[in-house]
Homo-oligomer: A and B are copies of this chain.
Amino acid sequence: MSIRTSRLSRPLLALSRPLLLSTLSTSTTRPVRPTVPLPALRPVIPSHAMTMSTRTPDAAKGPKVHVALVQLPAAMPGGKAAQVARMREMVRDAVSQGRDAGEAVDLVVLGEMWNGQPSHDELVKNAEPIPAVGAPEASWPAEATTCREMADAARESGVWLLGGSIPEAADGRLYNCATVWSPEGTLVQTYRKTHLFDLALEKMTYKESDTFGAGDRLASFDTPFGRFGIAICYDIRFPEIATIAARQGCTAMFYPAAFNTHTGPMHWELLQRARALDNQIYVATCSQARDPGAKYEIYGHSMAVSPMGEVIGTAQEKEAIVRVTFDPEVIANTRAGIPLLTQRRFDLYADVSVTPPTANGK
């Protein structure tokens, strides 16, 4: 039996192995509605560890989402004040660029630890208490200066702002903490990095957990244009986070991050493409720009990847604004063409988004 598929259907014809040619057939000669409905999202029960609403949104439906990744310069002379001032300028630039292009920015994303230099002393100096989610601004601690600037930036431009991460001072220690701000300047979500990088080798030791505490929950946030997951840098190496987010209806995972020039070229793009393709969602990272004089060479390359694993936007190492659009229809087409959602074998392996953590876990 011959196979006739139009050129138009190619994007949907995303088969991994249609080996059995005789079972492959065109169903009609003229466009009609599919006889079988597109795969529906499985209803899932949120893990106890994921803070989000329980009503699962459908990432394959809804409006397009216009996102700007703001790759701020790292370690500017002038420290925190200079970083925050540049953040304000670049958020304004990102929003006006979107407006000029007729794709008004919905959501701006900043990088990891973007408000100062990465030395221990500087982190301690720049750390601030982060207000409770939803707390009225009048009740915020005076020291929450970066938070006030992020709230103002969101309000000023009328955008959602995923404020990358900043050093948070709480419980007498530091956390690597992300914040999310609504267009009204309300803090709607926080996420403390859950996977800390500790290393002990012959030639060197490195212990992030000496400085930072680890978060104790995963996080996402809801907007009128969909749900989005948040994790930070090294977290991207743990696939479960993106899988849980996708199964709970997220359109995208965002990773503020600061890979270096050693692992960056090897793994930065690969990890993002893997998380996107395996979970059929968008993935975006936001880095700081490289400080040419720094010992720690930041890779930069803030990036966004489609549900098919294609890079749809990227910066180089310098200061940059990357604008990309997330299209739920692309998610729908990807899931229809490669129906991973309906073909999983949860009789053979657990669903990490449903099963409660094991008692013998870490």
A binding-site residues for B, Cβ under 8 Å: 2-3, 5-6, 8-10, 12-28, 31-36, 47, 49, 112-113, 118-121, 123, 194-208, 210-211, 214, 216-218, 233-234, 236-241, 243-244, 257-260, 262-263, 266-267, 270-271, 273-274, 277-278, 295-296, 308-310, 336-340, 343-352, 354-358, 360-362
Contacts and interface: CB of A to CB of B under 8 A. Distances in A.
B349 A349 contact: no
Contacts of A199: 15, 337, 339
Contact of A17 (B112, B121, B277): B112
A18 B203 contact: no
Copies in the complex: 2
Chain A contact residues: over half helix, strand or loop, or mixed?
loop
B347 A350 contact: no
Contact of A204 (B25, B233, B360): B25
A238 B112 contact: no
A8 B202 CA distance: 11
16 contacts: A17-B197, A18-B206, A19-B233, A19-B296, A20-B120, A24-B204, A24-B205, A33-B202, A201-B336, A238-B345, A240-B350, A241-B349, A267-B277, A354-B358, A354-B360, A355-B355
A270 B112 CA distance: 26
A17 B32 CA distance: 51
A81 to B, nearest CB: 21
Contacts of A217: 348
Given A17-B234, A22-B120, 4 more contacts: A14-B263, A16-B263, A199-B339, A350-B361
B349 A12 contact: no
A259 B16 contact: yes
B47 A206 contact: no
Contacts of A18: 197, 206, 208, 260, 296
